Chains A and B, each alone.
Chain A
Amino acid sequence: MASEKKKSSYISGKESRRITRFNRKITRKLEKQRADYGKNPAGYTTQMKNPGNVVEFDNVCTYFFSDVGVVRAVDGVSYEIPVGKTVGVVGESGCGKSVTSLSLMQLLPRPAGQTVGGEIRFNLGDGSAYNIVNTPNDVMEHIRGNRISMIFQEPMTALNPVFRIGQQVDEVTILHHPEMSKEAVKARTLEMLELVGIANKEGVYDMYPHELSGGMRQRICIAIALACSPSLIIADEPTTALDVTIQAQILDLLQNLKNKLNSSIMLITHDLGVVAGMADYVVVMYAGRVVEKGTTQDIFHHPAHPYTIGLMRSKPVVGKKVDELYNIPGSVPNPVEMPNYCYFRDRCEMQCGHCSGQYPPEIRISDTHIVSCYRFMDEGQVLGYPKSVDVEAL
């Protein structure tokens, strides 16, 4: 038993060299392909399926070509973010929720991390859309921070310690609106600081990040994110590093600002409580795939996937007394060698006959509620299987 366990992570020198060679070959090819698409706007402009959405993820596959093999961090993920709505993305660490958002921002650590398949369509508002996967860097620069912006988890490290707060907020406006005068930029920054609830805005403008507490720094990060009134705000665990009382302040602020600016929010979190209070739609991810998606009511009142059910039962809730918390047995499968059946099968307590077959398809069980589980095979309409990309064939 012991030796068997040891061997599972062992890679011989020969194998390691083969992986490196393969990675180099494939990432070069992908980079070249991307550069070709980027030369001509026709290569990266496309149409939205539904113009009511800001972003559509369509079978997105983001793989990391690592030294131990190909890690399928995001593998056939599809969901939409409607205009003016909040979509909560829930899952445990390592389930691919952050990588999805990084793919959208094109902030993946290239060349190792590559979006190898699928489309990410971003609505430009004038009837056309960009396919972010093929968009070249110089075009992305006008989207990042301007049309899509991001709030990170750690307000302590997201700000630059050697620049004053004012300069850091100014920077975004100067970059995207070079025509604005210095005074106008400063006025805009002060307006943003006021918007995020900073009373002493003139004072804070001249401060350094270390003079502020975590909650205030997160407000600054939000001000930076909102400086250009983006149509989508990606909030990657915006309150995980904060206290509950400060968390309540920040969530309240985000909700208000969203309504004011009519932006959409993609809220990435592992806290189901935060999602319930904030989101209109919820996407539950597990091991790089979407296992369930629907409106917040669907997910919280009628959770369908065994993983969602387990996740809800394993969190203690104030006011509900239980003797023992439910815990999902086992752990997430190794990302390098994903099984060819349902990824959750080995931890699932509700297995049925089909579970050892191929990965379950997306099944529509109500107008808004979609789940990937064989238990609903006969009850709903089968929409299709998530598509992996065969890396050997690239």
Chain B
Amino acid sequence: MNETNDRLLEVKNLVKWFPIKSSVFKRTIGNVKAVDGISFSIRRGQTMGLVGESGCGKSTCGRTILRLQEKTSGDVLLNGQDIFALNREELRKLRPKMQLVFQDPYSSLSPRLPVGEIIGEAVREHNIVPKEEFDAYISRVMDVCGLPEYYKERYPHGFSGGQRQRICIARALALSPEFIVCDEPVSALDVSIQAQIINLLKMLQKEFGLTYLFISHDLSVVEHISDAVGVMYLGSMVEYAETAKIYSNPLNPYTQALFSAIPIPDPDAHINRIILKGSIPSPANPPTGCKFHTRCAYCMEVCKYAVPEWLEVEPGHFCACHLYDTSEAKAKASETMERMKRENVAVGGKEVL
């Protein structure tokens, strides 16, 4: 299998801005830069974890990749096919191939449909199986997800959180997708139920060769399930590497702070917590230069002016930070800084309280 075939999903410089409208004339007076230039790719059958604080654009990224909302610019290729170039009918045909599992299993299931119908609705719509096999197919999907067959006629209100999440997963799986975006699938669940759902997701991946984009803020869960991890901050990706690499040697100061904040269930573990000051700035008015410079412990003069480049610091380990600039990038950054200083551009960013 060659290199390009190997990649199921490729995201190139994806940008999603939400316009802020003025109150009277509905003129656009600004943009919330939810996703601001993100590139990555996921290999077939692998899981990529996407982590970051709330409001950093992880969920927007997941939804834009599935074209649940239109992009501002950039490309998303699924199997080499640009999904934003498709028309309505073509997109509809592609839909079963890419599915989504939502965070909150309490609000993502229709209370008026029985479980069998929730799972089967899209199967019928997309003609996944012939009519006469429909019932047997749904039963099989439910069985794979650990749901007894007699649940079919029951309604979601009677189920616990874990079982509802199983229904959500069964609904996604019923369309035999290749790619599933899991948007915080376990954060609303209890610890022991979390383990069940994570094991289920891993088992399904092994059995059906699924590819996941796993969005979460729980770093220990992401480490467990992912092959590669991307860290986002304020709409940009700041670091990307294989899981083992990024957890053993985080490069970006933000990643370091994020990982050091993970609570470890061992009373004798003494880790040097890097406690970040303040909270994430507003994405409508992000700081100039490196977006993290307002909270960074290693902030240099250049960080306030020039946006760090996305560089491959080690093989397969990408990072955007001026600390790891090559001499070429350094020269470029300082040039930008000089120019901005000459032009007296205001730097810094407004911090949200």
What residues of chain A have their CB less than 8 Å away from a CB belonging to chain B?
Answer: 1-2, 5, 9, 92-93, 200, 203-204, 207, 211-216, 243-249, 251-252, 270-277, 296-297, 300-301, 310-312, 314-319, 322, 324-328, 331
> With A317-B220, A325-B195 in contact, do A1 and B263 touch (Cβ < 8 Å)?
no
Does any Cβ of A come within 8 Å of B90's Cβ? Answer: no
User: In B254-285, which residues have CB < 8 Å from any A CB?
Assistant: 257-269, 273, 275-276, 279-280
Q: For the complex formed, measure the closest distance between the CB of A92 and the CB atoms of chain B, giving whole angstroms.
A: 4
Kindly list chain B residues whose C-beta atoms are within 8 Å of the C-beta of A252.
273, 275
Minimum CB–CB distance for A196 against chain B, Å:
13
CA gap between A275 and B276 in the complex, in Å: 21
Q: Cβ of B332 < 8 Å from any Cβ of A?
A: no
Closest to B282 in A: A213
Interface residues contributed by chain B, number (CB under 8 Å)? 43
* Min CB gap B139→A, angstroms: 13
Contact indicator A5/B150 (Cβ below 8 Å):
yes
Q: Which of A5, A204, A213, A328 contacts B192, CB < 8 Å? A: A328
- Given contacts A243-B54, A276-B263, whether A326 and B150 have CB atoms under 8 Å apart is no
CB pair B273–A248 under 8 Å, yes or no, is: yes
- Residue B247 interfacial (CB < 8 Å): yes
How far, in whole Å, are A296 and B264 apart by their CA atoms in the complex? Answer: 13
The distance in angstroms between the C-alpha atoms of A92 and B160, with both chains bound, is 13
Residues from chain A with Cβ under 8 Å of B265 in the complex = 272-273, 275-276, 300, 312, 315, 317
In contact, B160 and A331 (Cβ under 8 angstroms): yes
Known: A216-B279, A246-B279. 16 other contacts (CB 8 A): A92-B192, A92-B193, A207-B353, A243-B54, A244-B219, A244-B261, A244-B262, A245-B276, A270-B191, A271-B263, A274-B263, A297-B267, A314-B192, A315-B195, A325-B198, A328-B195
Pick the contact of A249: B220, B267, B275 (CB < 8 A): B275
8 A Cβ contacts from B175-203 to A: 190-196, 198-199, 202
Contacts of B223 in A (CB 8 A): 316, 318
A277 to B279, CA, bound (A): 22
**Chain A-chain B contacts (Cβ-Cβ < 8 Å), number:** 129
The answer to whether B104 has its CB under 8 Å from any CB of chain A is no
B104–chain A nearest beta-carbon distance, Å: 13
Min distance, Cβ A327 to any Cβ of chain B, angstroms: 4
Q: Does B126 contact A (CB under 8 A)?
A: no
Complex Cα distance A325/B203, Å?
A: 11
Q: Per-residue CB proximity of B39-67 to A under 8 Å, as 1/0? A: 00000000000000110000000000000
- Which residues of chain A have C-beta atoms less than 8 A from B71's C-beta? none
Question: Which 7 A-B residue pairings sit nearest by Cβ, starting from the closest?
Answer: A273-B263, A314-B195, A316-B224, A248-B261, A2-B150, A272-B265, A325-B195
Q: How far, in angstroms, from A314 to B194 measured CA to CA in the complex? A: 8
- Chain A residues with CB under 8 A of B263: 244, 247-248, 251, 271, 273-274, 276-277
The winner among A2, A200, A207, A211 for most chain B CB atoms within 10 A is: A2
Pairwise interchain contact A310-B192, C-beta atoms closer than 8 A: yes
A251-B260 Cα distance, complex, nearest whole Å:
14
Q: Which residues of A contact B266 (CB under 8 A)?
A: 276, 300
Separation of A284 and B275 alpha carbons in the complex (Å): 29
A273 CA / B247 CA spacing, docked (Å): 18
Give 23 A-B contacts (CB < 8 Å), ordered by A residue: A1-B150, A92-B190, A203-B353, A213-B280, A213-B352, A213-B353, A214-B54, A244-B53, A244-B217, A244-B219, A244-B258, A244-B261, A245-B53, A247-B261, A248-B276, A270-B190, A273-B264, A276-B263, A300-B267, A316-B223, A317-B220, A318-B262, A322-B224
Task: Find out whether the CB atom of B353 lies under 8 angstroms from the CB atom of A311.
Answer: no
B146 to chain A, nearest CB (A): 11
* B257 surroundings in chain A (CB, below 8 A): 245
**What CA separation (Å) do A296 and B53 show in the bound complex?**
29
* Chain B contacts for A200, CB-based, 8 A: 353
**A residues near B268, Cβ cutoff 8 Å:** 297
**Residue in chain B with minimal CB distance to A211:** B353
Name the interface residues of B120-161: CB closer than 8 Å to any CB of A.
Answer: 150, 158, 160
Cβ-based interface call for B221 (8 A): yes
